[in-house]
């Protein structure tokens, strides 16, 4: 069935017309043939009945006088009809009086038992019994057997003729239908073509031509209307897009102008900070150094109060210097925009251990543990260094009294591809309420007497981490220790070792196994 | 004594039986022949046309006359109710020609017959009988030699135990009788012009 469904419309139409025609022709032929056969049969019955009657009539005397010879003579006249293969006359006692067979037939034919008046069409023969009557009295019966070959041949001939006619009709029907089907298929095909052209070339200006006022015409109208609507929407879209683009351009221009302004002002600010702090440094240095010189030269000659006062001054100047230093660092973090690079944390930590933090580590007898290799991250090496330095020095600074500081640095790969680095200490810990406060600029949780510091370190760390697109945070058990963590993007140009390491760090249970 | 009488009776009876047997046989064969001839007489009538005034619509009967020693016996029994040409058939018997002459009535009756069968017993009077009925459109049927030569119209004859007949068509024409060709065809011999 799908074969038929997938045929072209043209072929479908022709198929429909042809199958209708052929069915009709076939039916007509069959009916005609049957009718012909019926006619032939009727004719046969009529003519043979006629013969039988004539024979019967001519045999009256022969039957009356039981003259077989005469009856035989009468029967001989049946030679005229070549299809008669046997005939006989029965007396009123159903005995055969005389019989006839055409001279060329060799086989003896046995006359059948006399039957009542009637006829029958067998497959090869036609048989007829006719009674000879005198008034109401039956004086004898005539029997004639006819061979049907001739009739059959006639019928076959007729059938052949009808078949030939049928074939010709079918051919003509085919030719006519091939032309006429275009009435339906033509408009459909042209519509299909337009549709195809529209979809292939995205040309919505194309229109189908309406040629008729029937359902196809309706279809074409609807199609054209659709195209019209699409075209309209298209142009509206284009307009809107243009408007949007203009708007976007305007906004972008505004934004970039603002950006420019901001960046300029930022730059100015930073420059100012840099210059200012630089300029600020000089006098404070002077205060500090000259103060020290004074202390050195006048140390013995001064009263305790004065000595104390001088020390306060020097300390104040030192502190100011530190703060300015911190400010500078902070500003540096903002100004310097170095193109990110692969940063090996292990190297950084090693360097810190041996250089910047060497003294501090020795002083505090601290233990810096790095259980597993740290990964490489993408960032500004100097800033990362500053970050690590700040975190580790904090860990060392805020140690518990009487407990040797132990700092553990761990790394883990997050689901979003960022590296999470943790710096754990066993220091004094931080209260939960203060978690956010520790990262605020100049905010300190302790006094200068307890622990020294400027209050800038963690703020700087936060700034660095956020600049790199990561996050920073802390979790702690007050009195036991703190864990400072931050996330950073993994190195964009990892080495093979980095990759292997990354693999192993993906397992979340990584550092749990270390029993830390 | 008893036994002897018994035997005597048996012998007499068997003698009688034996003596009558051939006759009976003769009777059966002849009665078969005469049954056929009787049927033929009826059939003849079917194939012969009488002139208008002899056999009209008003005639309700066809008369078959038998003159002489009737050999038919009860041969007409099976067919006595049969109609020929739509009319009943009546058999009239006449003893002999001599008898006939004595009565005018009888002569008239004879002339009224449509078919007259002249028995072999009337052999001697044959010519006279025929002369008598010639003018009266009577189909004369006989069963003896030279019947046709004497002016008879149809004469029976036997051939191979089958009943046949011969026809004198000239005599028929003289009696204004039309014999159909079908019948003529079947005759062994036809005398015609």
Task: Count other Cβ atoms within 10 Å, centred on residue A295.
Answer: 15
Least confident of A44-53, A150-159, A394-403, B27-36: B27-36
Q: Is A66 on the interface with B (CB under 8 A)?
A: yes
- List, in order of start, the domains of chain B with CATH numbers: 2-191 (3.40.50.2300)
Distance between CA atoms of residues A429 and A483, nearest Å: 9
Of A62, A64, A66, the CB nearest to B46: A64
What pLDDT does residue A472 have? 93
Distance CA A223, CA A211 (A): 14
**Chain B within 8 Å of A72 (Cβ-Cβ)?**
no
Q: Are strands B88-94 and B139-142 parallel, antiparallel or unpaired?
A: unpaired
CB–CB contact B182 A60 (8 Å): yes
Taking CA atoms, what residue in A is nearest to B40? A65
**Chain mean position to CA A66:** 104
The predicted model gives A285-309 an average pLDDT of 84
pLDDT at position A268 is 80
Across the interface, of A62, A65, A135, the residue whose CB is closest to B40 is: A65
CB-nearest to B43 from A58, A64, A135 is A64
Between CA A89 and CA A69 the distance in angstroms is 12
- Residues A491-505: what's their mean pLDDT? 75
What SS3 state is found at B70? Answer: coil
d(CA A8, CA A6): 7
Of A62, A134, A137, the CB nearest to B186: A62
**pLDDT at A78 > cutoff 70:** yes
Please say if the pLDDT value at position A193 is more than 80: yes
In order of A344, A376, A417, A504, the CA distances from A500 in angstroms are 14, 11, 15, 7
Q: Which of A55, A61, A65 to probe by mutation at the B interface, max B CB count within 10 Å?
A: A65
Q: Which of B32, B37, B40, B43 to mutate to test the interface with A (most CBs of A within 10 A)?
A: B43
CA gap B155, B165 in Å, rounded: 5
**Integer angstrom CA distances of residue A377 from A332, A421, A471, A474:** 21, 10, 14, 20
For residues B186 and A62, the answer to whether their CB atoms sit within 8 Å is yes
Closest approach of chain A CAs to the CA of B163, in angstroms? 8
Q: How many CB pairs under 8 A join A and B?
A: 30
Give the H or E element holding residue A188.
helix A182-201
Percent of residues, chain A, with pLDDT higher than 90: 22
User: Cβ–Cβ of B182/A58 closer than 8 Å?
Assistant: yes
Contact A70 B186 (CB under 8 A): yes
**Chain-chain contact of B186 with A65 (C-beta, under 8 angstroms):** yes
What does the alpha-carbon distance between residue A332 and residue A466 come to, in Å, rounded to a whole number?
A: 15
Q: Is the Cβ of A34 closer than 8 Å to some Cβ of chain B?
A: no
* Mean of all residue pLDDT scores within chain A: 85
| Residues near B154 by beta carbon (within 8 Å), at least 6 away in sequence | B44, B139, B140, B141, B142, B165, B166, B167, B168, B187
Which residue on chain B is closest to A60 by alpha carbon? B182
A91 touches chain B (CB under 8 A): no
- Mean pLDDT, rounded, of chain B: 85
- pLDDT the model gives residue B78: 84
Which is more confidently placed, A44 or A500?
A: A44
Pairing of β B48-49 and β B178-179: antiparallel
List CB contacts (< 8 A) between A135 and chain B.
83, 86
Q: Tell me what the mean pLDDT of segment A135-145 comes to.
A: 88
The pLDDT value given to residue A512: 46
Model confidence at B64, pLDDT cuts 50, 70, 90, reads very high
Most confident range, picked from A231-235, A451-455, A507-511, B76-80: A231-235
**What's the pLDDT at A516?**
44
User: Minimal CA–CA distance to A67: which of B143, B160, B72?
Assistant: B160
Res. B19 pLDDT band, cuts 50 70 90: low
Task: Using CB atoms, pick whichever of A65, A70, A135 lies closest to residue B43.
Answer: A65
Domains and CATH numbers, chain A: 2-179 (3.30.450.20), 339-514 (3.30.565.10)
Q: Which of A34-43, A459-468, A495-504, B26-35 shows the lowest mean pLDDT across its residues?
A: B26-35
Residue B9: pLDDT band by 50, 70, 90 thresholds? confident
Query: Which is more confidently placed, A72 or A494?
Result: A72
Give residue ranges of B with CB < 8 Å to any A CB: 36, 39-40, 43, 46-47, 82-83, 86, 162-163, 165, 180, 182-183, 185-186
Question: Is residue B22 classed exposed, middle or buried when 0-12, 13-18 and 19+ CB atoms within 10 A define those classes?
Answer: exposed
Other residues' Cβ atoms within 10 Å of the Cβ of residue A2: 6
Distance from the Cα of A98 to chain B's closest Cα (Å) equals: 15
């Amino acid at each position: 069935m799908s074969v038929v469904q997938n045929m072209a419309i043209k072929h479908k139409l022709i198929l429909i017309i042809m199958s209708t025609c052929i069915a009709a022709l076939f039916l007509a032929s069959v009916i005609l043939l049957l009718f012909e056969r019926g006619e032939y049969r009727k004719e046969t019955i009529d003519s043979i009945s006629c013969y039988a009657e004539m024979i019967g009539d001519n045999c009256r005397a022969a039957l009356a006088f039981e003259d077989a010879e005469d009856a035989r003579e009468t029967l001989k006249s049946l030679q005229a009809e070549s299809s008669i293969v046997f005939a006989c006359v029965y007396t009123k006692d159903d005995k055969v009086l005389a019989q006839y067979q055409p001279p060329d037939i060799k086989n003896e034919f046995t006359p059948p038992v006399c039957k009542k008046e009637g006829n029958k069409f067998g497959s090869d023969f036609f048989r007829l019994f006719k009674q000879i009557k005198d008034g109401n009295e039956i004086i004898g019966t005539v029997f004639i057997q006819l061979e049907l070959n001739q009739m059959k041949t006639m019928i076959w001939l007729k059938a052949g003729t009808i078949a030939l006619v049928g074939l010709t009709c079918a051919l003509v029907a085919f030719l006519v239908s091939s032309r006429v089907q275009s009435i339906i298929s033509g408009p459909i095909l042209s519509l299909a073509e337009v549709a195809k052209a529209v979809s292939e070339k995205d040309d919505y200006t194309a229109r189908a031509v309406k040629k008729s006022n029937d359902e196809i015409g309706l279809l074409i109208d609807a199609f054209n209307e659709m195209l019209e609507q699409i075209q309209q929407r298209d142009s509206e879209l284009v307009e809107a897009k243009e408007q949007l683009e203009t708007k976007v351009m305007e906004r972008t221009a505004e934004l970039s102008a603002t950006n420019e302004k901001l960046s300029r002002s930022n730059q100015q600010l930073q420059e100012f900070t840099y210059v200012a702090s630089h300029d600020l440094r000089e006098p404070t240095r002077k205060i500090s150094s000259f103060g020290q010189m004074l202390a050195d030269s006048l140390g013995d000659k001064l009263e305790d109060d004065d000595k104390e006062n001088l020390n306060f001054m020097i300390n104040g100047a030192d502190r100011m210097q530190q703060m300015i230093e911190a400010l500078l660092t902070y500003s540096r973090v903002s100004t310097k925009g170095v193109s990110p690079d692969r940063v090996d944390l292990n190297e950084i930590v090693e360097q810190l251990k041996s250089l910047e933090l060497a003294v501090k580590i020795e002083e505090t007898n601290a233990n810096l543990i790095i259980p597993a290799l740290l990964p490489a991250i993408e960032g500004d090496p100097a800033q990362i260094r500053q970050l690590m330095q700040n975190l580790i020095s904090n860990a060392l600074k805020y140690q518990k009294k009487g407990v040797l500081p132990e700092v553990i640095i761990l790394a883990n790969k997050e689901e979003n591809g960022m590296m999470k680095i943790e710096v754990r200490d066993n220091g004094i810990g931080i209260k939960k309420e203060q978690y956010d406060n520790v990262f605020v600029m100049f905010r300190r949780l302790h006094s200068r007497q307890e622990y020294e510091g400027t209050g800038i370190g963690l703020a700087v760390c936060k700034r660095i981490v956020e600049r790199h697109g990561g996050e920073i945070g802390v979790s702690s058990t007050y009195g036991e220790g703190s864990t400072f963590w931050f996330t950073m993007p993994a190195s964009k140009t990892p080495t093979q070792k980095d990759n292997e390491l990354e693999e192993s760090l993906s397992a979340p249970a990584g550092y749990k196994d270390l029993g830390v | 004594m008893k036994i002897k009488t018994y035997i005597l009776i048996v012998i007499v009876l068997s003698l009688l039986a034996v003596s009558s047997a051939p006759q009976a046989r003769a009777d059966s064969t002849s009665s078969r022949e005469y049954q056929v001839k009787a049927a033929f007489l009826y059939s003849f009538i079917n194939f012969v046309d009488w002139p208008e005034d002899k056999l009209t619509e008003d005639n309700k009967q066809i008369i078959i006359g038998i003159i002489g020693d009737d050999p038919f016996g009860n041969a007409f029994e099976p067919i006595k109710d049969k109609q020929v040409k739509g009319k009943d058939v009546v058999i009239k018997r006449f003893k002999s020609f001599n008898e006939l002459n004595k009565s005018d009535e009888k002569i008239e009756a004879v002339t009224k017959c449509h078919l007259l069968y002249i028995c072999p017993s009337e052999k001697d009077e044959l010519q006279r009988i025929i002369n008598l009925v010639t003018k009266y459109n009577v189909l004369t049927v006989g069963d003896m030699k030279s019947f046709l030569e004497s002016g008879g119209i149809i004469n029976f004859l036997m051939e191979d135990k089958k009943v046949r007949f011969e026809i004198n068509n000239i005599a028929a024409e003289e009696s204004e009788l039309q014999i159909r060709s079908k019948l003529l065809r079947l005759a062994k011999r036809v005398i015609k012009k």
